[in-house]
Amino acid sequence: MSFKFRASISRLVTNYLRRLGMLEPPAEDLPCLWFDHKRPATSQLISVDLYKKSLSEHIDRDGKNNYAECFLYRIDHYKCSKTVEHEFLVLHFTHWGNPAATAAICVDRSVNVTIGQSSGMLTPSSSTSSENLAKDMVELIGCASNINIKSCLTEKFKTFRHISSLSFPSQFTRPSALHVAVLLFQVNQHAINYHLLDGQCYWFGHTVCKSLQTLFGQEGREDVFEPDTRGHLGPIPVFKPSQDDVNVVCDGFWDAYEQTMKVVEARRSHHLEERQKLVEQTRAEQQHEIDERDRQIAKLVERARDDQIERDREIAKLVERARDDQIERDREIAKMQAELELLKAQLAAPKDTAESPSPSF
């Protein structure tokens, strides 16, 4: 069964269990650390300088740099089984808010391709005097499950062997992802050229591991799986470890980290200022809306009051007219009553012509 097929089955089962509520929801990803995200079809390769820049400039909506709370708990050292036996590292990080979530990245050194070279690696036939810029890269693997990591490494390196692991057991002294990004950049700047004998992938993996162990992992545990062929090309020891390079990297590390934290703090301050401006702008817009609403209400109240005054005036006119009509009706009734009384008086008066005697002749 292929690793891709097994990874697909694993994703289907995980999604099904989450829908049933039997698993926690996926952990939130970061742009340069994927805790739930699976590796896409195209590689996500980032140079160590851009990786450091991306991590130091990241800020979330609350003004926090979550990379400072994602901690390295293990480094796995691998070696390819064929060709020049390329060596690379896989770094495992914890999630800042979900203790069950982890993310992995792959870190290695190769050489920039120059004219006449067909690959990113120098071979033993290359001139030992030639200098080429080293290409130190970070590849985002995704969640640090064994299936996901093995699928990614198999696709990229074909065949390889796990030769050692360096663990950081103490949660109080583990380096953060920001620490790691700064150190990777420091190692790159200490030896920017790829040398066949002392600046190759063997040197890079050794210097990164030993520098992190010196700075943060005094209480750490290193497990080596025999045979220990780190720095060997076949049976030949190509690279001889030197503590001097590690000391130089470690001596300059904290100054470099302090400068990085100034960038982080500047980004945080800028974010908070922009957020405060947005809050003030939103508040001003809301106040404007409130004031406009109050003006509209005042206009409606004024109009209602004017309408009430006009209605009261019309009612007063109607009352006055009704009173005048009543007075006029009363006057007419009084007049009619007087005429009726006069008529009654006339009807009650004696008729003189009927009662007097007729004259004689």
278-309 pLDDT tens trace: 888 888 899 989 999 999 999 999 999 999 99
**H or E element that contains 65:** none
Measured between its terminal Cα atoms, the distance across the chain in Å is: 167
* Cα–Cα distance measured from residue 178 to residue 260, given in angstroms and rounded to the nearest whole number: 8
User: Does the pLDDT of residue 117 top 50, yes or no?
Assistant: no
**pLDDT greater at residue 49 or residue 272:** 49
Q: What is the predicted pLDDT for the residue at 356? A: 56
Residues of the chain above pLDDT 70, percent: 82
Among 1-5, 7-11, 25-29, 144-148, the range with the most confident prediction by mean pLDDT is: 144-148
* Cα–Cα distance measured from residue 96 to residue 99, given in angstroms and rounded to the nearest whole number: 7
29 neighbors 35 (Cβ within 8 angstroms): yes
User: Does the pLDDT of residue 165 top 80, yes or no?
Assistant: yes
* Cα–Cα distance measured from residue 233 to residue 258, given in angstroms and rounded to the nearest whole number: 38
HSE on the CB side for 254, CA within 13 Å? 5
- Cα dihedral value 225, 183, 69, 34, nearest 10: -70
Summarize pLDDT for 308-337 with one digit per residue, the tens: 999 999 999 999 999 999 999 999 999 999
The candidate with the shortest Cα–Cα distance to 51, out of 142, 176, 138, 179, is: 138
DSSP letter at 169 equals -
Summarize pLDDT for 69-84 with one digit per residue, the tens: 999 999 999 999 877 7
User: Does the pLDDT of residue 129 top 70, yes or no?
Assistant: no
**E strands present in the chain:** 45-47, 72-80, 87-94, 102-111, 132-143, 160-167, 193-194, 221-224, 232-233, 236-237
The structure tokens listed for 292 are 């406009």
The structure tokens listed for 38 are 């699976």
Give the amino acid at 303: R
What's this model's pTM, rounded to 2 decimal places?
Answer: 0.70
Instruction: Tell me the sheet residues that pair with 77.
Output: 89, 164
Cα torsion angle, 46, 50, 55, 58, sign: negative
Give the list of residues 6+ apart from residue 217 with CB closer than 8 angstroms, or none: 166, 167, 168, 173
Split at pLDDT 50, 70, 90, the class of 29 is confident
Q: 170-174, 180-184, 190-194, 327-331 — which is least confidently predicted?
A: 170-174
* Cα–Cα distance measured from residue 62 to residue 75, given in angstroms and rounded to the nearest whole number: 31
- Classify burial at 355, counting beta carbons within 10 Å of its beta carbon; exposed 0-12, middle 13-18, buried 19 or more: exposed
User: Does the pLDDT of residue 67 top 60, yes or no?
Assistant: yes
